[in-house]
Each structure stands twice: as structure tokens, then as C-alpha cells.
Structure 1
Amino acid sequence: MVNVAGPMWDNALARPDAIALRAGGEGWTYGRLRDAVAAFGGALRDAGVASGDRVLLVAPSVPEFVVAYYGAHLRGAIVITMNTMATASEIGYVLDDSAASLVVAWHEAADATEKATTERGLPFRTLEPGAAMGTSEPMIEPVELDPNDIAILLYTSGTTGKPKGVQLTVGNLQATSATVVDYLSFTAEDRLGTALPLFHVFGQSVVMNTALHAGASLSLLSPFDPRGMLEMLRADQLTMLAGVPTMWNAMLHAAGDFGPEDCASLRSACSGGASLPAEVIRAFRARFGCEILEGYGLTESSGVATYNPMGREPRIGSVGLPLPGMAVEVRDAAGQPLTGDEIGELYVSGPNVMKGYWNRPEATASDLRDGWLKTGDLGRVDADGYVYIVDRAKDMIIRGGYNVYPREVEEVLYEHPDIVEAAVIGVPHEHYGEEVAAVITPAAGVTLDPEELRAWAKQQLSAYKVPHLFAFVDQLPKGATGKILKRAIDWDSLTGRA
């Protein structure tokens, strides 16, 4: 059955009493999940949503997200998922760009979404606990789609700073979940768990879809709490746990009597979203007797491209080998393949790679070249095929697993009447991996207050994008053409002024 909801649907028909989801001490069987998804799909049908229409979903990592997500897919809609911290302005941009026809938002995260939706006169549905959507006749089966049909749009910023909709197809998502299931030997007896946001490609494509493709159970924690994550691991006897570096580091330092016995059932701890410090991997192993394995992927590759193989001595610092069906090349600035252990830009290809950017043919042509995805990341591949990420070619900041694009933040800062110039950079941070820092040249005679700037920026940006560190300078370093040279900014020398 060619539909993102197909594997979940088939598992529900085969094993309706098996547990599909766990959250907050409650379990959802596959049968209950299927019934809720069918009812949700029916409600969307009755609301006029047709196959190929765009439906925006704003919700945290709760079972109701899963219901709404698969309910929309059941109907054949294209699902757009967004951060629950998104502002009305950010949501409005996505609604306009995607021409979404209906919006669904979790009841505790509905204010900004409803504001943006009301301004545009679009239908709005509040997602309540239990995901009840009225008395619509439920759908009886998923809409049959083509593997090349677009399944989801995930908005991510590029070098222009304007978010672009990454088009991932039904085939992309099904290939990803099937590959991960086979590569990690997942079965219906596995118990996966995460506190990752399901609106993000890692939690959504690599974890949620994989678990329900395999017929396994998925334990959800929202919001993330290190003790809560460890308690979930212990109580649900998880066999796979997925997180980002800040989560592993927080669990490492969590108080309590947690130890190796809590990880006895765990056979895979998967880390992605950013590089994980080697010391955290070693310390985690020492405290919990558990090996964290790193992988690598982008939104444009459905969240995954490489992973460290299980059953082998892990290579700390490497993001592993290309997954079956995937290929990784290192190329020079001219796009020519490099040999040996040379450093260059990583290109990936395979069934996971996106169809392109929504209504962005030039950006698509720039990043997709003869089936190869230009990642914008610098790396190398050793003689055994293991991939190492060396640096990011772009200036993207990864704060606590969330991508922050400096130019997007800079464009907001430039709107402030008392800011002449601004450069946003990432500064190493013990907990978040990187913190968002802004180096600013104020208008003549003006003294800017960091707290006031934060409050001002927070009105226009999601909280994780707001600069938390500030430095004020007479002028920013520039090259011969007048371009601001971020690499010439020495944050340590500026901290006395921050």
C-alpha cells in the first residue's frame, strides 16, 4: 500500500491489541490508534481536504500528533509540521508560501497558530487530548498514492535566510523507515523511545515512522527532562532510545541511582542533530554501560544518510557508514570528487533524498545535481568508508538540536531602529552545544540593553533562535568588498563587553 500511513494501518489490522504508543503512563494499542486515525481522516475529508492539499500541523510529541499526522496522510494530504514555539509571523510565512488549506494545532500551542490562521481566513481545528474530531464517518482505508507524490513539507532556511519547503515524497519516507528497520534489525517486539520533537525530521521520519513501520511500540516524552527520559527507559524497558547531544549530556549528569541495570534492555542509543563530544560518549558508557552511536542526515535526506553499524567497535568521532542504498561523496569547490582522506563538501544520494524545494526551482537546481544532494557540510571519508563531519560550510548554528540560521536572525535585528550592523554567530556552550550570539554595532550615541533586545527579538523569533549573548562594537570586521567577516570575530576578546 503506497501511503505513509500504510505500514501503521497494516500493523493495526494484523495486531490490533499490540501497544503502538506510550505516553504519560497511558498506552495506545494499534487498534485504538487506527480508529483515531480513521476518524481524523474522515473529519479532514468532511472539511473539504482533498488529496494533495496542504495541512499544517503544530503539536508537541504527544500521541495526538501521531493521530493527526497519519490522519492527514490517510486522506492523501501533504503534511506540514512546525515547531510549537513558532511565532504568528513565522507560521504566517509558511501558510502563505505553501498555500495551506487547513490548520491543526495542539490546544496548548494554538494562540500563535490561530492568530496567523484567522488573519488569512483559513479553517482552523484545535487538537484536544484524545484527538476527537467530531462525529465524521471514519475513512475505511488509506488513499492510494504514487511513490513520487509529495508527503510532507518541512521548512528549513538556506543561505538566503528565507525558509524553504523541503519536499519529501511518500517513497522517500517509506524508503527511510524500511532501511532503518532492516539496518537496525527492528521487529514488532522492539520498544523505541524518544523526547525528540516529532515536528522535526529526526523524530518524525527516523524514529516515529520507523517504529510504526516495524509494528513496534513508541514511548514519547514531552517536554524533555533528563530524569524523565531515564525513568521512561527504565519503566518501558526500551530497546532503542533516540536523542540529540544535549539530551545525552543532561542524562549523563542527572541525579539519581540510574546505572547500567536501567540500560539492560537497550541495544541501540541513537544520536543525531549535531556532533556529540567524544567525552560525553565515554562518560555515558562508563555510567550506564551503554554505547551511543552517531548518525548523520539532513532534512533534505529524510533525516538520515549514515549511521554507525551495530555489532562493531564504534569509531568515536565518526557518523558511521552510508546506509544501504545511500552513497556519500566528498567533492571540491568545483564539485569534482576528491580521493583518499581529503576534506571537502559532502554530497549524498539515494532513495531518501528529497524531490526538491517547494516552488524553488533555482534552489533545487543548486542543491540537487544529477541525483546528488549538495549538503553544505564539510567532511571526509576514511579508507573504510566511515564518514566524519569536519565543519559546516554554511554558518548554521545548532542550539540544543535545533537549527538556527544566522541570517534569519540578522534580518530581524536589522529591523531594530538602533542597530546599524549585526552578525550572528554560534558560541560553544556546555549544555546546548552552541549558543546564539549577536555582535552588534549600535547607532551613534545609543546604548543598547541586552535584556530589552532579547525581549524585542522574542516577539518575532522562536525562543531558540533569540540571541542570548550580546557584544557591542564600534564596527564589525570586513573584507575588501565590505562583506562582514564572521570568522574574524574573536568572541573571547569581546566577552568583557557582552
Structure 2
Amino acid sequence: EPGDRVASLMPNRTELLVHYIACMKSGLVAMPLNYRYMAPEIDHALSVGGARILLAHTERRKDLAASKLAKALPLGQIDYDDEDSDENKHTRFQSLLEAAPTRAIKAPGPGQPAIIFFTSGSTGKPKGVCHSFETLGWIVASAIESFEMGPEDVMMAAGSASHVGGHHLSMITLATAGRVVMARTCDGDEILPLLREESPTKVWMLPSALYALVHDHKATREDFSSVRACFSGGDKVSEALERDFTQLTGIAIDEDYGMTEIGIPTVTPPAGFRIGSVGPLAPGYQASLRDAGGREVETDVAGRLWIKFPGNMVGYWNNPEATAETVLDGWLDTGDVMSADRDGYLWFHGRQKQIIIHDGSNICPQEVEAALLEHEAVAAAGVIGVHDPRHGERVRGYVTLDATVSPPAMQDLIRFARARVGCKAPEEIVVLDDMPLNATGKVDRVTLK
């Protein structure tokens, strides 16, 4: 029935976009689950969203077998496959497309729920963010302008369309009659052939994926010959990554800033490129930077970012308390700390809940991580605050190392960081085999803690 939530656990393929459009046309509420979710996370999302049915790819059947809720949904679970073989006992996705509607479909109204995304869970358990057809329309309309999309564009959004980045960039491309290139993963072994064969005009990738593409794969400038713009968001783009990527490709990385609850409020335009800035406000957005007392801060002074926009979320699904804590008089508290220069360009300093307080001074983890990443031996970096009875918190860094470079002594690495960020540098550094990432591919500081 219209309004029912249809959960999906689907890989990053065109079928996922087809699923979204089918839900929108029929008034159903799409509820994408991150494809990395394991059984407990799947159960949490299904419970929060009150899903009626789950559409899942068969390659996740082992994990779904451990789910307590998937098989108990009111309308059950549809397992589909994209392989056409005699041994395939599951529904083929193509057969779902061939099924004719059994009744007339009424177009949904603008205020009806359209989609429920789940937050990355960087500050707690994921919450269900509800967008209506109207709020989603505002997000798409604004992003079409800020990303300068047109029918000639081929967009490769190398991020999962189960999350807002991949979803929004795919939708603005389709809305302008462009072509979407779906990357199954962010791994260079998949990205490089797509760059060579599909000739995208615009590319969006997470900073961590861009770093791997530049340093771990044999990418050349020729691979990017069709690309006119490269966008990145979801985490801070370090100056080292910006420098290395530009040197390899001849293209600058245009940073954007987005959030599940508000869409993509800033994009750095190619004509106004400034290293380190996430750009000016996109069309339709209003911003307010406030101190701890709720007063607006001056130019170049860091404050907590509040956003007002017709495309702000309707609310957290079935969580009015969290909605009331986040939205006040139409302004949404992002929890992110930013400053604005005299030209209105915003500069990201970090999440308020991740700020490290050392001897009364605020330290942004991303700033320290960027300093560590400048070292040639550091492949990935994560920084957290650890309780200290004398100083409040001390700074601890975690790194993974580039296997092709001689490993540095940790004290040398600390001195390297101190030369760049002074007293904000880590007092200790731990080497990891792999950097933990959250469901959206960002450094998982909760796990590090």
C-alpha cells in the first residue's frame, strides 16, 4: 500500500536506482540499507523504519540468515539474483521488472514520505532520516545548479547509492537527462576500467578512495582525460591528497559538504576554487554559525553550523525527541563546526562531538589527521581524544602505513606532525594493519575510541 516502507539490501548497481524510481512512482517509501550492514545493523534499521518487506540480493543470504527480523516482516523477504542460470532458485531482477501492475497507481503528493535514509552512526546508533517528495525535490533542484549538471554529463558517483552522496548525484544526473555510471565498489581495480571505458565527465569519490586511487593503483593522467570535474565529500580532503591528485590528473578536487538530513548545502565551484574550503552555500540554503550561547560568530571565527532550507528532512522516523533536539524554529543543528570567510566560503573544522579538549583548548581531529597524511609513509590516519586526568584529553593518533615506503619511527612521526600543527600533534601513535571505516567509508572514530 502507498506509504509502506520497502527496505532494500542491494549492491551498487543500476537495479538500485530502478528500485528507487519504482517506489517513487507507486507511493511506496524506499528504505535503503547500507550494503555493508551486518545482521544486528540490519535488524536495527528494519525495526526503526517499520519495514513491511525486504528486497535483498542473494549474495547477502548468509548474513540475512542471522537476522532476527528479515524473515518476520509482514510481507516477508524477496531474494533476487542477477544471474540467469538453470541452477538459480531465486527471483531474477528482470522478472520483477516484467511484472505488470495489478491496479491503477495514484501519484503521491508532495508531502508524502519518499525515502528513509539511515545516518552513518558516527555519534551513536543510526537514525532513520525521512525526506518527503517535496524535500527531496528541493535537494535535487539545488544540487543540479551547484554541480552544474546538464544532459551532456556522464556522472560516476563512486559511492553507494544507498547513502545520500551516491543517491543524490545519481538522481540529479537522471533529472537532467545525463548518464549515470555505477561503480560496484570504490576500489581502483573497478574504477580505472570505468574511467577508461565509460568516459565520465564528472566524478565523485570519498577522500579515502581518491587516496587509494592515486597511491595504490597505476592510474595515469590519460585515465582522467574525459573528466572535467572531480568532487569529493564525506570527510576532509587533505592538502597532501589535493596536491597529489592535481599533480597526477591536472584536475583540482572540488570539495562538497553534505549531510543525510539536509542534502548538499555547499559545493566548491571550479571558478572559485580554494584549497581546504567546502565552498559557498548552494542555491536555497541559509546558514548560521553560532557559539555555545547561540550567538552568531564573526567572519573567520569557528561556530556550530545551523542550516535552514526547504529541503531539510521532515524528521527522524518515529523519533520526535531526536527531531526536536536537532531542529529549532526551522533551523537544523548539523553538529559540525565551521567558519566562513568574507566571501561566504565555508571551512570545515570538525564535528562538535569529535572535538578534543586539551587543557581547555579545542583540537579538531581532521586537522591533525591532515598533518599526519602529509608524511609519505602514512596511508590513512585517525585521531581521537583519550581521557587524561590532568589535561582533560590527550591526543592519540592511529595510522596505517604505505608498504612501499620505509616505516618511520613513531617519535619521528610525532615530530613531523608537531612541526605542522604544534601542540595539537599526537602524544602517541598506534600503527594498525587496517583503518576501521564506518558504513559510509569514513574513518570510524567511535571504533577507534
Aligning the two structures, in what range does the TM-score lie when normalised by the shorter sequence? 0.7 to 0.9
- When the two structures are aligned, how many residues end up with a matched partner? 376
Q: 1:352 Cα deviation (Å)? A: 2.5
Compared with structure 1, are the counterparts of its residues 310 and 122 closer, same or farther at alpha carbon in structure 2 (3 Å cutoff)?
same
Judge conservation of contact 2:385–2:395 (CA < 8 Å) in 1. no
Counterparts of 1:77 and 1:268, CA distance in 2: 35
Once the two structures are superposed, what CA deviation does each residue of 1:360-410 show, in whole Å capped at 9, x if it has no partner? 21211111111111010111000000000112102399xxxxxxxxxxxxx
Compared with structure 1, are the counterparts of its residues 140 and 186 closer, same or farther at alpha carbon in structure 2 (3 Å cutoff)?
farther
| Partner of residue 372, structure 1 | 331
| Partner of residue 177, structure 1 | 140
Residue identity in the other structure for 2:138: A
Give the 5 Å matches for 1:36-435.
Answer: 50-113=1-64, 115=67, 116-120=69-73, 122-129=75-82, 131-134=93-96, 136-138=99-101, 143-156=106-119, 161-205=124-168, 207-256=169-218, 258-259=220-221, 261-302=222-263, 304-312=264-272, 314-395=273-354, 430-434=378-382
| Partner of residue 3, structure 1 | none
- Gaps of at least 5 residues in structure 1 are 1-49, 398-424, 440-475
Residue identity in the other structure for 1:123: G
Counterparts of 2:223 and 2:431, CA distance in 1: 46
| Partner of residue 420, structure 2 | none
Judge conservation of contact 1:67–1:131 (CA < 8 Å) in 2. no
Residue identity in the other structure for 1:299: T
Q: 1:490 Cα deviation (Å)? A: 3.9
Q: 1:137 Cα deviation (Å)? A: 1.4
Once the two structures are superposed, what CA deviation does each residue of 1:53-86 show, in whole Å capped at 9, x if it has no partner? 1111111211121222222222211111112221
TM-score, normalized by length of structure 1? 0.69
Compared with structure 1, are the counterparts of its residues 125 and 275 closer, same or farther at alpha carbon in structure 2 (3 Å cutoff)?
same
Once the two structures are superposed, what CA deviation does each residue of 1:156-184 show, in whole Å capped at 9, x if it has no partner? 26697233211112122222222222333
| Partner of residue 359, structure 2 | none
| Partner of residue 443, structure 2 | none
Q: 1:227 Cα deviation (Å)? A: 4.0
Once the two structures are superposed, what CA deviation does each residue of 1:3-62 show, in whole Å capped at 9, x if it has no partner? xxxxxxxxxxxxxxxxxxxxxxxxxxxxxxxxxxxxxxxxxxxxxxx1111111111211
Counterparts of 1:268 and 1:496, CA distance in 2: 36
Indicate the larger mover: 239-248 or 186-195. 186-195
Residue identity in the other structure for 1:369: L
Counterparts of 1:121 and 1:217, CA distance in 2: 37
Q: 1:140 Cα deviation (Å)? A: 9.3
Counterparts of 1:427 and 1:58, CA distance in 2: 37
Counterparts of 2:355 and 2:39, CA distance in 1: 23
**RMSD across aligned positions (CA):** 3.0
Q: 1:142 Cα deviation (Å)? A: 6.5
Counterparts of 1:496 and 1:155, CA distance in 2: 31
Indicate the larger mover: 193-202 or 374-383. 193-202
Q: 1:110 Cα deviation (Å)? A: 3.1
Q: 1:340 Cα deviation (Å)? A: 2.0
Q: 1:426 Cα deviation (Å)? A: 13
Compared with structure 1, are the counterparts of its residues 112 and 290 closer, same or farther at alpha carbon in structure 2 (3 Å cutoff)?
same
Residue identity in the other structure for 2:58: H
Counterparts of 1:495 and 1:308, CA distance in 2: 33
Residue identity in the other structure for 1:349: K
Once the two structures are superposed, what CA deviation does each residue of 1:100-154 show, in whole Å capped at 9, x if it has no partner? 1000111212333353312556510113216234563148987422222221112
Counterparts of 2:12 and 2:163, CA distance in 1: 10
TM-score, normalized by length of structure 2? 0.76
Counterparts of 1:497 and 1:276, CA distance in 2: 21
Counterparts of 1:224 and 1:144, CA distance in 2: 36
Indicate the larger mover: 120-129 or 241-250. 120-129
Residue identity in the other structure for 1:310: P
Judge conservation of contact 1:64–1:127 (CA < 8 Å) in 2. no
Q: 1:198 Cα deviation (Å)? A: 1.0
Residue identity in the other structure for 2:144: V
Judge conservation of contact 1:246–1:433 (CA < 8 Å) in 2. no
The secondary structure found in structure 2 opposite 1:132 is helix
Counterparts of 1:123 and 1:274, CA distance in 2: 37
Residue identity in the other structure for 2:282: L
| Partner of residue 394, structure 2 | 488
Judge conservation of contact 2:233–2:255 (CA < 8 Å) in 1. yes
Judge conservation of contact 2:123–2:353 (CA < 8 Å) in 1. no
The secondary structure found in structure 2 opposite 1:235 is helix
Aligned sequence identity (%): 29
| Partner of residue 455, structure 1 | none
